[in-house]
A and B are shown apart, each in its own frame.
Chain A
Amino acid sequence: MMRMLGFAALGLALIFLLGPFLIIAGAGFSSGDLLVFPPQGFSLRWYGAVFEIERFRESFVLSMQLAVGSTVLALLLGVPAAYAMARYQVPGGEWIRTIVTAPVIVPAIIAGLALLRYTVIPLGLPVMAALVLGHTALVAPYAVRVVTVSLTHLRPDVEEAAVLLGATRTGAFFKVVLPNIRNGMMAAFILGFITSFNQVPVSLFLTGPGVTTLPIDMLAAMEFVYDPSIAALSTLLALMSVSIVLIAERVLGLSRYV
Chain B
Amino acid sequence: MSDPEYLALRNITIAYGKTVAVNDVSISVPQGELLALLGPSGCGKTTLMRAIAGLLPLTTGSIALNKRDITRVPANKREVGLVFQSYALFPHLSVFENVAFGLRLRKISGDQLQQRVDGAIAMVGLQGFERRLPKELSGGQQQRVALARSVVVRPSLLLLDEPLSNLDARLRLEMRSELHRLHRDLGVTMIYVTHDQTEALALADRIVVMRDGCVAQSGTPEDLYERPTSGFVARFMGFENILSVTPEGLAGEPGRLDAATSSVRDARALAWRPQNVVLGQGPFSGRVVGASYQGETTEYLIDSAAGMLKAQSPVVSQRFAPGDAINFDLPFDRAVKLAES
Residues of A within 8 A of B (CB): 154-155, 157-158, 160-168, 171, 175-176, 179-180
Across the two chains, which residue of chain B brings its CB closest to A176?
B90
Within 8 Å by CB of A158, from B88, B102, B105, lies: B88
Partner of A160, one of B55, B92, B153: B55
Report which of A161, A167, A180 forms a contact with B105, defined as CB distance below 8 A.
A167
Q: How far is the CB of A10 from chain B (nearest CB, A)?
A: 37
Known: A165-B105, A166-B153. A154 touches B91 (CB 8 A): yes
The residues of A that contact B163 with a CB separation of less than 8 Å are: none
- Chain A residues with CB under 8 A of B53: 160, 164
- With the chains together, A163 CA to B101 CA distance in Å? 11
- Contact A158–B90 (Cβ < 8 Å): yes
In this complex, the member of B54, B89, B90 whose beta carbon has the largest number of chain A beta carbons within 10 angstroms is B90
A184 to chain B, nearest CB (A): 13
- Any A CB within 8 A of the CB of B71: no
**B154: shortest Cβ distance to chain A, in Å?**
12
Assuming A157-B88, A164-B53, A165-B81, what are 19 further A-B pairs, CB within 8 angstroms? A154-B91, A157-B86, A158-B88, A158-B89, A160-B53, A160-B88, A161-B82, A161-B88, A164-B150, A165-B76, A165-B149, A165-B150, A165-B153, A166-B76, A166-B77, A166-B105, A167-B105, A171-B105, A176-B92
Chain A interface mostly helix, strand, loop or mixed?
helix
Report if B36 contacts A (CB, 8 A): no
Query: Which listed residue, A155, A167, A179, touches B76 by the CB 8 Å rule?
Result: A167
**Complex Cα distance A157/B54, Å?**
13
CB-based nearest A residue for B153? A165
Q: Does B284 contact A (CB under 8 A)?
A: no
Other-chain contact of A157, B84, B101, B105 (Cβ < 8 Å) = B84
Query: What are 9 inter-chain pairs, A to B, with CB distance below 8 A?
Result: A161-B82, A163-B75, A163-B76, A164-B53, A164-B75, A164-B81, A165-B102, A166-B76, A166-B106
* CB of B156 to closest CB in A, whole Å: 12
Residues of B close to A164: CB separation below 8 A: 53-55, 75-76, 78, 80-82, 150
Give chain B residues whose Cβ lies under 8 Å from the Cβ of A157. Answer: 84, 86, 88
**Restricting to B147-169, which residues have a CB under 8 Å from any CB of A?**
149-150, 153
Instruction: Give the residue of B80, B86, B89, B92 whose beta carbon is less than 8 angstroms from that of A179.
Output: B92
Chain B: minimal CB distance from A96 (Å): 23
A158: B residues at CB distance < 8 A? 88-91
Query: Which chain A positions have C-beta within 8 A of B105?
Result: 165-167, 171
Find the residue from A154, A166, A171 having the highest chain B CB count within 10 A.
A166
Tell me the complex Cα distance, A163–B150, Å.
12
Within the complex, what minimum Cβ distance (angstroms) separates A90 from chain B? 18
Whole-angstrom CA separation of A161 from B88 in the bound complex: 7
Chain B 204-237, CB-CB to A under 8 Å as 1, else 0, gives 0000000000000000000000000000000000
A179 to B76, CA, bound (A): 20
Residue ID in chain A nearest B93 by CB atoms: A179
- Pick the contact of A161: B54, B77, B84 (CB < 8 A): B84
Which residues 35-60 of B sit at the A interface, judged by CB distance below 8 A?
Answer: 53-55
Give Cα A167 to B107, complex, Å: 12
Residues on B with beta carbons closer than 8 Å to the beta carbon of A179: 92
The CA-CA distance from A157 to B78 in the complex, in Å, is 17
- CA–CA, A22 and B90, complex, Å: 48
> A205 CB to closest chain B CB, in angstroms?
42
Q: Residue-by-residue, is B57-78 near A (CB-CB < 8 Å gives 1, otherwise 0)?
A: 0000000000000000001111
| B92 close to A168 (CB less than 8 A) | no
* CA A154 to CA B91, docked complex, whole Å: 9
Q: How far is the CA of A155 from the CA of B84 in the complex (A)?
A: 11
Bound Cα distance from A2 to B88, whole angstroms:
50
Give every chain B residue within 8 A of A154 (Cβ-Cβ): 91
CB contacts under 8 Å to A, within B75-120, are 75-78, 80-82, 84, 86, 88-92, 101-102, 105-106
Q: How far is the CB of A164 from chain B (nearest CB, A)?
A: 5
Bound together, the chains give a CA A163 to CA B75 distance in angstroms of: 7
Of the residues B82, B84, B102, contact of A166 by C-beta under 8 Å: B102
Residue of A165, A168, A179, A180 ringed by the most chain B CB atoms within 10 A: A165
Provide the bound-state CA to CA distance between A171 and B102, in Å.
Answer: 12
Which residues in A have their C-beta under 8 angstroms from that of B90? 158, 161-162, 176, 180
